[in-house]
Homo-oligomer: A and B are copies of this chain.
């Protein structure tokens, strides 16, 4: 399983992904699900993926190969809009599935694959897209400034309470870690290390990119303080009047 989240704030963007993949609980491995395509002062494109690992890897490898073989054609490094990048990724999901899908279906292997695509291309504001497994895409809005893929439900309530377009990058990082904590507690197949990336609006370079492993001090502090805080709040709630 996978959990990835991208947040599009007035001040910039936060991306985080876990790094656990599994083909059954007896075959768990680590693969980074976040990829960064950065040319300073020109573009920062961040992709995160969920679903069939061969499909999602092949999509990105296909795009990279295409850009190498024909550097002038519309691609990751030539697109003038993140919307074009999201559609390119969607088209490539369809192309890879056209090639592989019938063989996967024949073995009842799930070929679904979805992406979060964010960042900024010079001349545009930062944007954030969700590319569905069918290849279509939607963009985040002021009302819903975050996108999740994979095991989304356990980590969603805290985003619904905390995140607005005006939230600071620092609070968004905190919220993201709390969201991962909730997800990792309730779904064993989502696990550390967490890949975290912070992009500051108009910087056109990556501000922070870190891998938080299970022993990371800040991750451990947030997990402990959040758990203790929740138990304290719960303890302070009034007892029901009927018992």
- The answer to whether B239 touches A161 (Cβ under 8 A) is no
Q: Which of B173, B178, B185, B198 contacts A234 (CB 8 A)?
A: B178
Copy count, this protein chain: 2
A233 to B226, Cβ gap below 8 A? yes
Contact A162:B238 (CB < 8 A) given known A185-B157, A208-B243, A243-B169: no
From A29-37, A54-62, A217-225, give the one contacting chain B. Answer: A217-225
CB of A236 within 8 A of CB of B227, answer: no
Interface size class for chain A?
Answer: 35 or more
Expressed in whole angstroms, the minimum distance between the Cβ of A228 and any Cβ of chain B is 8
**Nearest chain B CB to A64 CB, angstrom units:** 29
Tell me if A174 is interfacial: C-beta within 8 Å of chain B: yes
Whether, in the assembled complex, A24 has its beta carbon less than 8 Å from a beta carbon of chain B, the answer is no
Determine if A102 is an interface residue (Cβ-Cβ < 8 Å): no
Nearest opposing residue in chain B for A210, CB measure: B242
Task: Return A40 CB to nearest CB of chain B, in Å.
Answer: 19
Secondary structure at chain A's binding surface: helix, strand, loop or mixed? helix
Q: B233 contacts A237, CB within 8 Å?
A: no
With both chains docked as a complex, state the minimum distance between the C-beta of A162 and any C-beta of chain B, in angstroms: 6
Q: Does A182 interact with chain B (Cβ within 8 Å)?
A: yes
B153/A239 in contact, CB under 8 A: no
Contact B186 A153 (CB under 8 A): yes
* Contact between chains at A233 and B232 (CB < 8 Å): yes
Q: Kindly identify which residue among B156, B170, B207, B236 contacts A225, using a CB–CB cutoff of 8 Å.
A: B236
> From A200, which residue of chain B is reached at the shortest CB distance?
B243
Q: A157-B157, A157-B182, A169-B243 are in contact. List 11 more A-B contacts (CB 8 A).
A: A153-B153, A161-B230, A173-B240, A175-B234, A178-B237, A198-B243, A222-B237, A226-B233, A229-B229, A229-B234, A230-B233
